[in-house]
Structure 1
């Protein structure tokens, strides 16, 4: 798992009837008492709904819930039950109180048992209307030894000999609350009036202090960079499922994932930052999703940059290599991104968008960048915003028209491609002059390109503005230039040139159509291959089985026993692994044919060894090769690259 997944509300209870909208106050208030017994898989819900000025209340809720009672202003009425909810007729007064009692047996599709339960807002347990916003006060009661937690402000807790209760309040929610229940051990820390809590299963409760410490550090960091944390609580909750979900002021993380270092680092920081970008300033999805890119830049990338310039450079290069592996038909403009549906959308909506913010900071400077974000936060806290609002904040602070910048990076689905077409050096009046020409292939962008010239005794670093198809530049130096590098640290989002982008596994996994060659008829190997391919390629990829006699005409995956794959690679002139460690049980690597077609070879000792790759191999898409001992990746890497085409060594 790469990180925590944002959960955007969508009702899944299957409404099939027409829904006229309610007509008055856009906010509906709910007082809810919820009782859940995870062991019995039983649920009881008491709702007190305050409605203003409408003659009908249209509710959506799951079909597995039974309606026990409906009372409107003290009078028992009937609910017109329909698929996915129901309709209650109302007198139409300015202020009306509806009591609705529901109960049911939690279906098998919802996780519930001795390890806990997860009632996602999208599961339909919480009856909702079509109101644009909702507010609620939710009291959750569970039998001991369970505890419950939900998004919203924790306002009260009570305990009896047989049960525990907790009350959560939200004054303005964009989605129904999700409730998580488990035999949790609680740990708490209060920092700057913010309650930090972990709700962990007892076998991982020793990690609580680490999560509280990290959470406090990230809250302080982002509060300094943006503005005060907008909520009163932040909870990290362990799940019996191998998942990672993010909600307002809450992260729900698989208990097996909690101990992993990446979860305590970039993933936790990313989720906390979403309480500013996404849950603090809301995304107007009609104009795209700016929040994932900005959060990736300020959390994931910033934590890598804390390690030093080389780590930051490597992350930018990883993003560019991902983009190089993205087929043109799966590319899209940054502004067209709404949410992550597959790796291709992540490459644009997270990585490329984060790179746009990196270039914007380079364009206006660190101080103006931070000031602009603070202004954007102050102007749009708890309101909807889109890319144009971000642009307005940056233009206001800098006093510059940045329309050209946002237009070229948000509206186009291609990337600039630059070439160093000429370089020379000659003596000048004050030393030496390096003269060089940079050419743009395809669309012409306005690019702020870093140039580094290595001379005898020092480095000369400058930026040049490339805004035409081809331009020639001159840079002076006191001592003789030895080497010239164009964008050596990958600070410009661009299409990498041959020599900068070695073959990686994503060259195949991102392809829209893939041929599959299976070099084994053994049932365990065939079954394992099918499961692995489903994980590697996803539902959107068209896969076609081919025979050993066919010619490779598109991106191809070849799977088979280790000795058979080795013979196939040799017979077809394909590269093998850099080292053949006899201790390996499986391996995957990618090579390119002369016509640049990528071929992924996956070898395994047997079906069990291949099955061991199903969970982890999809996470190594940025690698050229991975070797395994059992289910553990013991070696991975990227094929070495030649000298960059954007580097020129001056002759002596």
Structure 2
């Protein structure tokens, strides 16, 4: 299961690191010269995994002796010219800063193209350079079934074509914001799609020529091609396309109708959609990317029923945040969290308040489970996610920052400010400072303290209830409560709920110090008090607030994954491979006969195998509720018995030897069930239990939390 579909706004952390470091490459002129536009003519030879292309690249080069750009190291530069004149050029693969990247294994496939500009052409502010090149690209996806398992950035194949800016399939100067016109030549029967508006499409002599153009600038260009059947409609002046394989034509209407709804919704919230088209494009391996004016979804991903209701809208929204208002990464990436808040979270809010509350709690749980003092960092340093901790910070914490800002300024000012931010910053790079300025200027208020603590500080507040007092006064009751902040105190606006003899009393209390006292007057006698009852403040949670979940176990850096020594040989082998895939650098992988008493009492445990397979399983399943039973060759959940070979169960509990730690038990009734389900487990992190039948999730849930350390019964 995919809980969030990754945006191509930030392809991967590795690619971001490459692009950032490449800004120092080649020579000083790489930083000084900028590309204004690309006019690419590219022919794709699928059987040979090859492309042949010419880029008519318009570049600023006034008073510049040389122009340096980057291009894929597998390509051969055929010629460089301008105004029908051949220009001298040189290709370098060593001798510049990329050597340090190669040593890190990041970018061994980039070369620097240096073009000499004759003196009589140096006065041109927008010189067009004609660069002809060819080469092969075939990064075989690590898996055709899984998302986020490999770093595939460029592939040309009969199964499909995917070329991202990260593979430098066209000449590039990092930091350029350029317009793109792309003419793709494919074998007839293959359709090519990229950003922008369709200019022309024609088939001649067994080849299809397709031209797309986007005159507004972007940070890069992706090109996709495949054996698609194309459906298109026009919705209120926007062309909507579905590039789906023939087998998935039954999904086309659903996706197009959903796209119409999302476009209408976000135009009402934020302003006009910035492009002339939006295309839903199916991919032959598993991706969930959002590019300017289109999204690329894997052929397994598009069939997942929740994608239309969640991830599709997320990627459409990226056309406002990230694809037209760009991110100034020098001050941190704000757009992933804002998109998460206005898409994934917003859809929960539209559903009902309980779903929205649960989403906020899950954000705080993930942060508490995965982020420690060792891996924490402030939002100003977030670029892209590379693991659960960076995701919890960059996506989750950022989303909660916008939630707290919205609650503080109100809905009207919040959306008014975002509309202004979009209007003023479109086609430019924007930073947290720009967001702060717009909100401050629109609301005529000082928000420097808010952005200082949430953007520049690492960490999160940790709240405790101190002394509480209730006394009878002349006109009712006076309740006094102490709110304590452990660690560096934040300036917070906390929801407070008093349960009264007659109804409930709600208010917002402002706290700033390590110890603040709140006084509340009510006419009816108070019986209990809860601070932040609906988790509206981003904070580190108490152990008692966190149910046993998959995240609780996987988030423990020092967890132990335990594979069984009993059972069938094929299942044992599958469990052992799963154990290795669940482990990271600090994780211990043990056989059930090797686990020590110290590990049992001090660490979270991921136990693989049923009671007849793993010696530890029986020890922990005794603590489960009566709704769960595990036997040799079967299990029961919520009064349903499962005993087929394709069935699998995962269930969690708190470690009875250490309530701060968790235990997860996973059992598959056959080796195929173990293999088909095992890799999906991290995608279900917020759940306490999962049931699968033939690889499909049929039951899931999160156990309730009964204790609330920020709630207290009040006595006079």
Contact 2:194–2:221 under 8 Å retained in 1: yes
Distance 1:243 1:526, change over 3 A: farther
- CA distance 1:67–1:567, change in 2 (3 Å): closer
Correspondence for 1:588: 650
C-alpha deviation, 1:510, in angstroms: 2.3
CA contact (8 A) 1:190 1:196 kept: yes
* Equivalent residue number for residue 65 of structure 1: 75
Query: Which residue in 2 is equivalent to 1:90?
Result: 117
- Checking the alignment, whether the CA contact within 8 Å between 1:231 and 1:249 is kept in structure 2 is yes
**TM-superposition CA deviations, 1:394-438 (whole Å, max 9, x none):** 111222211111122222222222222344444333333333332
Query: Helix, strand or coil for the counterpart of 1:297?
Result: helix
The counterpart of 1:55, out of the listed 65, 70, 73, is 65
Could you say what secondary structure the match of 1:377 adopts? helix
**Is contact 2:580-2:589 (8 Å) kept?**
no
Task: Identify which of 473, 478, 481 aligns with 2:523.
Answer: 478
Work out the CA distance in 2 between the residues paired with 1:396 and 1:557.
51
Contiguous gaps of at least 5 residues in structure 2: 94-109, 141-153, 630-635
Q: Aligned-pair distance for 1:43?
A: 2.2
Deviation, structure 1 residue 604: 3.0
Matched, 1:548 2:575: no
State whether structure 2 residue 325 is matched by structure 1 residue 275: no
Take 2:386 and 2:479, find their aligned partners in 1: how far apart are those partners?
47
Cα-to-partner distance string for 1:269-294 (whole Å, 9 max, x where unaligned):
11111111112221111111111111
Any gaps of 5 or more consecutive residues in structure 1?
none
Give the one of 172, 180, 193 matched to 1:128. 172
Which residue of structure 2 aligns with residue 602 of structure 1?
666
Give 1:503-652 correspondences, 5 Å limit. 503-520=548-565, 524-525=570-571, 527-538=573-584, 541-545=586-590, 547-548=593-594, 550-553=596-599, 555-564=603-612, 567-571=615-619, 575-576=623-624, 578-580=627-629, 581=636, 582-583=641-642, 585-590=647-652, 591-595=654-658, 596-650=660-714
Q: Secondary structure at the match of 2:597?
A: coil
User: How far does the alpha carbon of each residue in 1:161-198 deviate from its partner, in whole angstroms, 9 at most, with x for none?
Assistant: 63322212233544442111111122223233222211
Q: Distance in 2 between matches of 1:535 and 1:151?
A: 36
Query: CA, structure 1 residues 336+62, in 2 after alignment: closer, same or farther (shift >3 Å)?
Result: closer
TM-score for the superposition, normalised by structure 1: 0.92
Q: CA deviation at 1:235?
A: 1.4
Moved more, 476-485 or 347-356: 476-485
Matches for 1:187-226 after TM superposition, within 5 Å: 187-226=231-270
| Contact map agreement 2:311 2:344 (CA 8 A) in 1 | yes
Alignment pair present for 1:44 and 2:52: yes
For residue 130 of structure 2, what is the aligned residue in structure 1?
99
State the distance in 1 between where 2:327 and 2:230 align.
32
* Shift in Å, 1:301: 0.8
2:351 match: secondary structure: coil
CA offset digits 1:288-330 (Å, max 9, x no partner): 1111111111111111100111111111111111122124122
Q: Could you tell me how far apart the structure 1 residues matched to 2:79 and 2:510 are?
A: 70
Tell whether the 8 Å contact from 2:499 to 2:526 is kept in structure 1 after alignment: yes
Partner of 1:246: 290
Query: For the aligned residues, what is the CA RMSD?
Result: 2.9
* Between 214-223 and 351-360, the greater mean CA deviation after superposition: 214-223
- Offset from partner CA, 1:556-606 (integer Å, 9 cap, x none): 444443124664244479734751115154333333243323333333334
For residues 82 and 45 of structure 2, the distance between their equivalents in structure 1, rounded to whole angstroms, comes to 28
- The range that moved more, 70-79 or 368-377, is 70-79
CA distance in 1, matches of 2:224, 2:620: 54
1:290 equivalenced with 2:354 (yes/no) = no
Query: Are 2:188 and 2:207, in contact at CA under 8 Å, matched by a contact in 1?
Result: yes
Q: Deviations over 1:7-48 (max 9, x none)?
A: 347498999984342587623433221111334534221232
SS at match of 2:575: helix
- Matched length: 651
* Aligned residues of 2:370 and 2:388 also touching (Cα < 8 A): no
Aligned-partner Cα distance in 2 for 1:131–1:445: 36
Give distance in 1, aligned partners of 2:165 and 2:271: 29
Q: Does 1:264 align with 2:326?
A: no
CA deviation string 1:515-546 (max 9, x = no partner): 333222776445433543454345x5544546
Give the structure-2-normalised TM-score: 0.84
